[in-house]
Amino acid sequence: MRIALINENSQNAKNDLIFDALKKVVEPKGFEVDNYGMYSAEGSAPLTYVQNGILAAALLNTGAADFVVTGCGTGEGAMLALNSFPGVICGHVEDPLDAYTFAQINDGNAMAIPFALKNGWGQELQLKYIFEQMWLEEPGSGYPKERVVPEQRNKKILDGVRAAAYRPLVDIYKDLDPELVKGAFAGEHFKELFEAHAADGEIKDYVLSLID
C-alpha cells in the first residue's frame, strides 16, 4: 500500500510530526509513505483544505496513492472537500475508535484528522494510536463481525450511488478556478512523486499539463 500525506496551510507546522508518526506505524507493515506537504516552511506552496481535496482526488484516481491521510484544524473542511470528488471516500477520524470503525465498516480510502481541535500534549501518541487502528486488520472486515455481510453489501450500494452521482474528474477540474487547481499541484515534490507513481491516462496527462 502507498499512503499519501497532505497537510493544509493552518497545520503545516505539524507536517514533520504527522509524517514521523505515520511512518513508524505503517513502514513495518511494508507500506510506503509519500509526503506531499505542505511542509513546515511557512508560505511553501500553500494548500487550503479545498485544495487538499483536489490533490487527493488526483492521487487516488490515478493510483499514485492507495490511501490519503489529510486533515485541517477541525478535520471537517478537509473531509467535506475530499468527499466532493469521485473515487474518494473520506472519513472524519478524531480518535482510534473512529479509525477502526471507519476502516472496518466503511472501507474508505482517505481520512481527515482534526490536527488542531482537542490536540495538545501527546498528539504524537494520539496519531500513533489512530494509525495503528486504521490498519490493525484487513479493511472492510466488519464491526461487529456478525455485521460484515450487510456492511459489505451497503458499501457496494454506496459505491454504485457515488459512481452515478459524479462526473469525470478531469471535467470537474476544468470547471474550477484554474489557479485553484494548479495551486493544489504546486508542492515542491509533487511532480516527481506523481510522475513516478500515477498510472498513465487522461487524469495524469491533464494534471501534468497544468504544471509543465
Domains recognised in the chain with CATH numbers: 2-211 (3.40.1400.10)
What confidence score (pLDDT) does residue 122 get?
Answer: 85
Looking at residue 42, what is its pLDDT? 63
CA distance linking residue 187 with residue 110, whole number of Å: 20
Residues 209/181, Cβ–Cβ less than 8 Å: no
Rounded Cα distance, 43 and 39, in Å: 9
pLDDT of residue 30: 97
Three cell numbers at 52?
487538499
In terms of phi and psi (left: phi > 0; alpha: psi -120 to 50; beta: otherwise), the region of 122 is left
pLDDT at 119: 80
pLDDT digits (tens, 9 = 90+) for 32-75: 999 999 987 766 688 999 999 999 999 999 999 999 999 999 99
Cell numbers at 95, concatenated: 480518535
Q: Note whether 9 and 46 are within 8 A (CB).
A: yes
What are the backbone angles phi and psi of residue 5, rounded to the nearest 5°? Answer: -105, 130
Q: Which three cell numbers stand for residue 168?
A: 469525470
Burial class of 94 by CB neighbour count within 10 A (0 to 12, 13 to 18, 19+) = middle
| Contact in structure between 173 and 53 (CB atoms under 8 Å) | no
Give the residue ranges of the chain where pLDDT is below 70: 42-44
DSSP string computed for the chain: -EEEE---GGGGGGHHHHHHHHHHHHGGGT-EEEE----SSTTSS---HHHHHHHHHHHHHHTS-SEEEEEESSSHHHHHHHTTSTT--EEE--SHHHHHHIIIII--SEEEEESSTT-BTBHHHHHHHHHHHHTSS-TT--SSGGGHHHHHHHHHHHHHHHHHH---HHHHHHHS-HHHHHHHT--TTHHHHHHHHSPSSHHHHHHHHHH-
> Residue 51 has what pLDDT?
97
